Amino acid sequence: MLFIVLEAFSGWMLFNFNDYQGSVWFTQANALAGYLFQQEAELLKYVRMDEANRELMQKNLVLQYNNEVLRRQLSQLTRDSSFTEQVQARLLEGIHSIPAHVINSSIRQKDNYMTLDKGRLQGVRPEMGVVSGTGVVGIVYLVSDHYSLVLPILNSRSSISCRLRGTGYFGSLRWKGGNPLLAILDDVPRHARCHVGDVVETSGFSNVFPEGIFVGKVVDIRNSGDGLSYQLYVQLGVDLAAVRDVCVIVEDHQQELDSLQGMRLPDATAKTVGK
């Protein structure tokens, strides 16, 4: 112990009272400290990667929604909107999301499912849409207090109303099995102008997803079995085998929106319309 103390004291005197040795020690110490700080930064960067991914995903979702809002506002500047359309547009402004983490999923079955680590206590309810930073994932099917089961696009019972971006043509997106990155948009009318590379997005016709959320891109166009419509093969924007962070879409005015869309005309009004 005495030897170690004397060595430390002699080293302090050497580097403190000799300019050359002091500069060497200062340079080497700074290099070592810089290396350690760099390694610490890389470690913290890796540890915080999940949080950064969630933030990026939420920002991407907000950008997609804002983009659709701007397109809708530009469209409204050139034509008059009905009262119902104005009310519905106002209700859609109340959308926010609940971040969640995928804790279990499958892609190789005919009916695949996905489990999230958020449930009823966090505000998740059945029939809510689930998206990631690159597109639509699926729809909440069942919920418990702390977990929720999602019906993803890769499920034979999944059917999501989608449209071609920039047009009024829409159809139902379904997965027929096989390639987990490929789904089919059915019932697109024959007179629709569609091309390979067109963007497919949510139509907003259901209360699950707002309009304008990215789904994928058209990679092939074929005739339906009866020849009366097109089948558009869509490359999905989300790789469900790799997705880990998602957002559950919450519409603050969901009940009011459902009430508005389910509203029936009074008897007197109905008779007048009938005449």
> What is the H or E stretch that residue 95 is in?
strand 95-105
Phi, psi values for residue 92, rounded to 5°: -65, -15
For residue 16, give its domain range: 2-47
Residue 268 within any structural domain of the chain: no
Residue 181 within any structural domain of the chain: yes
CATH code at 151? 2.40.10.350
Alpha carbons 157 and 176: distance in angstroms, whole number: 10
Residue 240 within any structural domain of the chain: yes
Q: How far is the CA of 212 from the CAs of 156, 176, 193, 252, in angstroms?
A: 24, 24, 19, 18
At 150 the pLDDT is 93
Q: At what angle do helices 2-17 and 19-47 cross, to 10 degrees?
A: 110
pTM for the predicted model, two decimal places = 0.62
165, 217: one domain:
yes
Residue 263 within any structural domain of the chain: no
199, 225: one domain:
yes
88, 164: one domain:
yes
What one-letter code names the amino acid at 123?
G
Helix intervals (H) in the chain: 2-17, 19-47, 49-77, 83-92, 254-261, 267-274
Q: Judge contact between 139 and 155, C-beta under 8 A.
A: no
Q: How many domains does the chain have?
A: 2
226, 211: one domain:
yes
The pair of structure tokens assigned to 228 is 């009366």
77, 186: one domain:
yes
The gap from C-alpha 20 to its chain's centroid, in whole angstroms, comes to: 59
Alpha carbons 131 and 58: distance in angstroms, whole number: 9
Alpha carbons 6 and 268: distance in angstroms, whole number: 104
Q: Running along the chain, 275 residues long, what does each successive block of 10 average in pLDDT?
A: 86 75 65 68 64 69 68 61 48 69 88 92 92 88 92 92 87 90 91 89 84 89 85 91 87 56 46 36
147, 166: one domain:
yes
Residue 40 within any structural domain of the chain: yes
Residue 114 within any structural domain of the chain: yes
Q: In which residue are the tokens 């016709």 written? A: 205
At 238 the pLDDT is 87
At 174 the pLDDT is 93
197, 236: one domain:
yes
19, 114: one domain:
no
At 224 the pLDDT is 83
140, 13: one domain:
no
105, 207: one domain:
yes
At 273 the pLDDT is 34
3-state secondary structure of 157: coil
Alpha carbons 184 and 172: distance in angstroms, whole number: 8
100, 215: one domain:
yes
Residue 208 within any structural domain of the chain: yes
113, 242: one domain:
yes
Residue of 195, 97, 194 lying closest to 137 (CA atoms): 97
Q: Judge contact between 235 and 103, C-beta under 8 A.
A: no
Q: Judge contact between 88 and 211, C-beta under 8 A.
A: no
The pair of structure tokens assigned to 201 is 């997005």
Q: How many CB atoms lie within 10 A of CB 96?
A: 15
Residue 265 within any structural domain of the chain: no
At 69 the pLDDT is 66
Residue of 167, 200, 166 lying closest to 186 (CA atoms): 200
